[in-house]
Structure 1
Amino acid sequence: MAEEKKAGKSKLVIMLIAVIVLLIVIGGAAIWWFMLRSTAAPTPAEVAQQKLQNTKFIDLGSLVTNLQSADGSTHYIQVQIQLKTYDPSVETSVKTFMPEIRNGILLLLSAQNADTVSQPAVRDQLLQKIKAQVNQILETDGGALKNPPADKAPPIASVYFASFVVQ
């Protein structure tokens, strides 16, 4: 009987030690989870650095079309356009929809008036229209989707003229 009490006490001591060790491990994990792990949002500098690393410029090549003219003469515009994105995978989509993108841009350019297209304000508006046109094509998969997803940032961040010639 004395041996049974010793065996029972030793089992109790082992279980007690196991429970204490388990509580220490759980407590340590809780302290790490709530206090030591990094939960801080990235700083603006970190976000900027990440964007800089992912920045990609996509060249659409040279586009030439005629312009609207009030005096009846023929005027042409030649532009080279660069698209800026922070998602390197967008380049594949741009290449896929390149004919559609170029067509949309040519339609926008040919609707411009030769007398006003050289004004800086008109150029800025034209860049914004090109950006909207390209984003619309990319976000709707060339028109396959009715509405672009509202929760994502647009694929093209900016549009730039690498060259701009009106004749």
Structure 2
Amino acid sequence: MATTSPAADAAPKPAKSKKLLIIGAVVVLLLVIAGSAAAWVISSRHAADEEGQDSGAKSSASAAAPIFLPLENMVVNLADPGGERFVQVGITLELRDAKTAEAVKQYMPSIRSGILMLMSQRNSDELLMREGKEKLAIDIAREVGRPLGFTPAKASAARTDDEEDDEDGTARKRRKDARNPVRQVHFSGFIIQ
């Protein structure tokens, strides 16, 4: 039997304890890093949720869901020479709220008359172009807003800061007037004959 010396027994034990100490330190370090990352993710999600709820509440309060009000189809003779052309138009109004929709319904005879007068001043060449339809939609929005108390600002000859040049160099209005209770005019049908 061989006897081991006390110096030989002491040498292997410190090597094993050093390895265990290093492994333990690495595991603790990884746990600290993982815990910090988890805490950061949770806190950033919580902050994003709070910001989302705050901005969502503000945006929903300031910009409520629009109300769509379809109008009966209208058939109008156009201002073409000879008076043989006409247009059949389906219009849906995008309104700010239900209160505005009720007011529009109350003034519907006046509004329909105004829209018919607007369309009867157009000619087929103008309405066949996209720009003509867009201009008609803007004019209809103004016409619907008049009985509701909306009076549009007079168009000045000078360009305003909310106009930009199109590709063809013409100036077009980019923003809508926030005071008008009619957000947009949508055409659900547009037939020219």
TM-score scaled to structure 2, two decimals?
A: 0.54
Alignment RMSD, CA only? 2.6
What amino acid does structure 2 have at the position aligned with 1:118? L
Long gaps (5+) in structure 1 = 1-41, 141-146
Q: Is the 8 A contact 2:65 2:97 kept in 1?
A: yes
Report the counterpart of residue 98 of structure 1 in structure 2. Answer: 108
| Distance in 1 between residues matched to 2:114 and 2:139, nearest whole Å | 10
Q: CA–CA distance in 2 between the matches of 1:137 and 1:155?
A: 11
Q: Is the 8 A contact 2:75 2:88 kept in 1?
A: yes
**1:125 corresponds to which residue?**
135
Between the aligned partners of 2:61 and 2:192, the Cα distance in structure 1 is 38
Give the Cα separation in 1 of the matches to 2:183 and 2:139. 13
Contiguous gaps of at least 5 residues in structure 2: 1-53, 153-177
1:54 aligns with 2:65: yes
Which of 145, 170, 181 is residue 155 of structure 1 equivalent to?
A: 181
CA positional deviation for 1:48:
4.3
Q: Give the corresponding residue for 1:87.
A: 97
- Normalised to the residue count of structure 1, the TM-score between the two structures is 0.62
Deviation per CA, 1:86-121, whole angstroms, max 9, x where unpaired? 211111111110000000000000000122211000
SS in 1 for 2:124: coil
Q: Does 1:65 align with 2:67?
A: no
**Separation in 1, partners of 2:62, 2:189:** 25
Is the 8 Å Cα contact of residues 77 and 85 (structure 2) preserved in structure 1? yes
Q: Is contact 1:85–1:156 with CA below 8 Å preserved after alignment?
A: yes
Aligned length: 117
User: Quick one: which of 115, 126, 147 aligns to 1:116?
Assistant: 126
What is the CA distance between 1:124 and its match in structure 2? 0.3
Distance 1:73 1:49 in 2: 48
> Percent of pairs identical after alignment?
30
| Greater C-alpha Rg | 2
